[in-house]
Amino acid sequence: MASGCPVLTADRFGTKEIAGDAALLVNPESVEAIAAGMQRLANEPELRGRLIAAGAERVRPLTWARCAEQTLQVLENIAAHPRRKGR
């Protein structure tokens, strides 16, 4: 998504939630579904364009700075509330 490519991903395992409506979702256990998804991306320019645009929007808030800030918040929370031994 961040590189401007349309995304084909699994319709489960968390990728569905991450991709949202910015990817074409398929059954990862079905070779036929994967192949059909790849054919759609290759043959449907409107679909490709929509997914590329949606992907650019989807990744906009996903920056390394935001990742660092959220990681720091988690670490500070852990440091402020250490678990007691034996619990």
45 lies in some domain: yes
87 lies in some domain: no
| Residue with token string 């929007």 | 57
57 lies in some domain: yes
- HSE-up (13 A, CA, CB side) for residue 11: 10
The pLDDT tens digits of the residues spanning 2-53 come to 899 999 999 998 898 889 899 999 999 999 999 999 999 999 999 999 999 9
Q: How many angstroms from the chain centroid is the CA of residue 82? A: 32
14 lies in some domain: yes
Q: How many angstroms from the chain centroid is the CA of residue 80? A: 31
Q: Check pLDDT > 80 for residue 87.
A: no
Q: What is the residue range of 42's domain?
A: 8-80
β-bridge mates for residue 24, sequence order: 8
Q: Could you give the CA distance from residue 61 to residue 18 in angstroms, rounded to a whole number? A: 12
43 lies in some domain: yes
Q: Considering the entire predicted model, what is its pTM?
A: 0.72
What total of structural domains would you count in the chain? 1
Q: Check pLDDT > 80 for residue 84.
A: no
Q: Could you give the CA distance from residue 8 to residue 41 in angstroms, rounded to a whole number? A: 8
